[in-house]
Structure 1
Amino acid sequence: MAKKVTVIKAAKAQKHTQEERRLKVCGYARVSTGSQAQATSYTAQVEYYTEKIESNPLWEFAGVYADEGISGTNVKHRDEFQMMISDCEDGNIDLILTKSITRFARNTVECIQTIRKLKEIGVGIYFEKENINTLSEKSELFITILASVAQGESENISSNNRWAIQKRFQDGTYIISTPAYGYGKDEDGNLVIIESEAETVRWIYESYLNGMGVYVIAKALNQKGIPTIRGAEKWQDGVIQDILKNPIYEGDMLQQRTYTETRFPFVRRVNNGQRNQYLIKDSHPPIVTHEEAEAVRNLMAYRVDVLHMNKSDYTKRYLFSGRIICGECGRTFRRQKIYIGKPYEKIIWTCSGHVEDKERCCLKAIREDVLHRAFTDMWNKLYTNQGTILEPLLKELTELVAARQDSEEIRQLDKEIKDISGQSQILNQVMRKGYMDSALFMESSSKLGWQLTECRRKKTLLTRKLRRTKEIVRTEQLIQLIAEQDGLMEEFDEQLFKMTAEKIVVSKEHDITFCLYNGLKLTERGGGQDAVAHANRL
């Protein structure tokens, strides 16, 4: 017997007495070079979006964001772009108008990530050339394809540029765009010495050969008020080291000291043998002699091989290196020795900010033996009171995760994700066998892709709420370490410190807070003297 179906007609939309909320719309424009033609295009785009938005009665003008002379391969270096995204997150923008996907981004991954990020907060992007609004279900597939094409275009351009530069390296005809500190360029592009900067370079070489380290040299230049390279805020020890290593100052040109990766996001890296380098001997006037440069290289090698002063390992040279944080200015502490050679020689740790400027940071140095004693006291109190600190904490964390109602939602989302993935596989099989029209396939595939993205987004949000497992594991490890101890710690245990403490924060009053890996903060008052430890869970 056929079932009787009654159609209940949809209610007519009620007329709104209030005026519908106007969309806050902005425009985004970008040109990738600083030429006159592109500058004209840049101005025209700004004027175009301003007029277009303001002329629409349903739109509220939210400004025009425009990056001039910036490449689109990486969004990190586009200030206006980042400001626009921030304004979207603050609720100041509902819709972004832009010319095309190539103007928005030429990196497929970052393009899709940005689009999805904005979709999550209800902000759409309308690409005029492609006639795509990212808030529609069909947009994801088309944008992925078009963004991939745009990325391929950028990769081809980058590949051609690399080939041309490589050829000029081999021919010796490459002209550097920005000369090193101490040099300028004449009308023909040849390097010429800038004497005022060259005096500083000679002083750096002379000081290093006389025993000064790169950190001390940088500090001295800052104190003298010597202008820095390309207007930087202050001299850094890494800059000094680069000057000492660069053969350009002895008149030799070493080309391709850095290189750009062949894939997105085209990151520039120091060439440590990954690419060919090209050395041109005596290519320009020297600032220092070959003998001075050779002496500097020998001294550097001696310091690395004999004194183990390799820059890359320096921050990990001592147990507390990079782990002690100033509670006043947030800088890390540096290791120093006082009363050297005397029976009461001591090792102290001093805030880097205090060393540079005592007025900006007034936190005084702290002795290393005080840190040792504070950790020993803290550990012994934790050992004695584990039953009132660690075990209740572990129980609370475990119950918190188990009691989450979100866990059931995540299981449901996992089931939906699995079902959608299965539907997608079936759809692909049907398409391969020729049982479906290509247009219908693209529409269905795009819809499934959109549903899959939504499920994964919801799961990500719920999973963030449940990320307590790391704290649970670390707390269990801490309890196990205590169980393995025979009794109270009599002397500072370096290995135990490495396994339990992530960092140390020292306050103005020299209260020492040990931030443990499981999220506990344990404080020794006044540097461990008459201290009472207390715990605060992060």
Structure 2
Amino acid sequence: MVRVEIKKVVGYARISSDSQIENTSIAEQKERIEAYAKSQGWKLERIFVDEGFTGSIDDRDGYKEMLEYIKKPDNEVSAIIVVKADRIHRSLKNLLILIEDVLEPNGIAFISVSERFDTSTPQGMLFLQMIGGFAEFERSIINERTKGGRLATAKKNKYAGGQVPYGYEVIKGEIQVVDSQALVVKRIFQEFIDGSSYYKIAKMLNKEGIPTKTGKNWTPQTVKNVINTETYTGFNTYNGEKEKNGIKQKGVFPRIISRQMWNKAQSRLKEGDNK
């Protein structure tokens, strides 16, 4: 248990692109952190920020910079302040790992403004574990409800969410064809059927300045991914990331290539030597 006299602190604020409904703006988080530090008579050294990122630590430069900063003895940081615990870690397990493996060995407390706990006290640590348990229970209930909703939607032969392949876009919950990309899909299939390799097709598309769905260059793998996507025939399998249901759907995605073209491409795939 951290037992220190808190003098210097840092703040951490984050909004995530995958959960905008739950987000509190960076400006508001900063304001509340500053106000809390001032009310306690603590010196707020810095506020580290991650904006528009998911919960993955690998994608959070502000989080990583903060950890490096607080570990330096010269900075004499006594605590990290957040508006809410899930801004730094959604998982109680990951939060406890941070506190027990990083903060406590360095004599640093963790403080949440809205949840009103401070790990420099026994009461604060106990409260953290209690609310964390309830939060994870609530999250599991929400996940189950969301999962059930996606499953019901998929069974009704409707778009149930998730990323859509190159050639499509989602508009108001409906899948629509991107005409310019659909032409590229047809061309990829035809080039492949005519004997071109993944590498040759990728090189051709890059030379013509045609980007992938993410705006990057084509690679043999991205070309192969297109050729392996049965969705272009108008038939697809809903296989949610968590559910793995394998629900067969027809017509949810408009057809871009004929079944005949698909079968020809699959025949060539079986022959091998397509790189």
TM-score by length of 1: 0.44
**1-side partners of 2:23 and 2:93: how far apart?**
28
Larger mean CA deviation between 93-102 and 197-206 belongs to 93-102
**2-side partners of 1:40 and 1:130: how far apart?**
14
Q: Look up the match of 2:145.
A: 160
**2-side partners of 1:27 and 1:294: how far apart?**
57
Kept in 2, the 8 Å contact 1:24–1:62? The answer is: no
Q: Look up the match of 2:63.
A: 81
> Aligned-residue CA RMSD in angstroms?
3.2
Unaligned runs of 5+ in 1: 1-20, 262-274, 312-538
**1-side partners of 2:271 and 2:245: how far apart?**
27
**Pair 1:287 & 2:256 matched:** yes
**2-side partners of 1:174 and 1:80: how far apart?**
36
1:290-324 CA deviation, whole Å, 9 max, x = no partner? 11111112222232xxx6x8x9xxxxxxxxxxxxx
Q: 1:184 to 1:100 in 2, by over 3 A?
A: closer
**2-side partners of 1:136 and 1:284: how far apart?**
56
Q: Identity of aligned pairs, percent? A: 23
**Pair 1:244 & 2:227 matched:** yes
**2-side partners of 1:90 and 1:202: how far apart?**
57
Q: 1:119 to 1:67 in 2, by over 3 A?
A: farther
Q: How does 1:274-313 map to 2 (within 5 A)?
A: 275-303=244-272
For this pair of structures, how many residues does the alignment match? 266
**2-side partners of 1:129 and 1:171: how far apart?**
42
TM-score by length of 2: 0.79
Q: 1:89 to 1:222 in 2, by over 3 A?
A: farther
**2-side partners of 1:85 and 1:171: how far apart?**
47
2:63 counterpart letter in structure 1: F
Structure 1 position 236, deviation (Å): 2.8
**2-side partners of 1:81 and 1:211: how far apart?**
49
**2-side partners of 1:55 and 1:136: how far apart?**
18
1:413-461 CA deviation, whole Å, 9 max, x = no partner? xxxxxxxxxxxxxxxxxxxxxxxxxxxxxxxxxxxxxxxxxxxxxxxxx
Residue aligned with 1:276, SS: coil
Match among 243, 254, 267 for residue 237 of structure 2: 254
**1-side partners of 2:72 and 2:263: how far apart?**
57
Structure 1 position 104, deviation (Å): 3.5
Rg larger in structure: 1
Q: Which has the higher contact order (CA 8 A, sep 6+)?
A: 2
**Pair 1:201 & 2:170 matched:** no
Q: How does 1:15-414 map to 2 (within 5 A)?
A: 23-31=7-15, 33-35=19-21, 42-53=26-37, 57-67=41-51, 74-90=56-72, 92=75, 93-116=77-100, 117-136=102-121, 140-176=125-161, 178-186=163-171, 189-232=173-216, 234-256=217-239, 258-260=240-242, 275-303=244-272
Q: How does 1:465-480 map to 2 (within 5 A)?
A: none
**2-side partners of 1:260 and 1:79: how far apart?**
28
Structure 1 position 212, deviation (Å): 2.7
Q: 1:245 to 1:59 in 2, by over 3 A?
A: same
Q: 1:151 to 1:39 in 2, by over 3 A?
A: closer
1:453-512 CA deviation, whole Å, 9 max, x = no partner? xxxxxxxxxxxxxxxxxxxxxxxxxxxxxxxxxxxxxxxxxxxxxxxxxxxxxxxxxxxx
Q: Look up the match of 1:487.
A: none
Residue aligned with 2:241, SS: strand
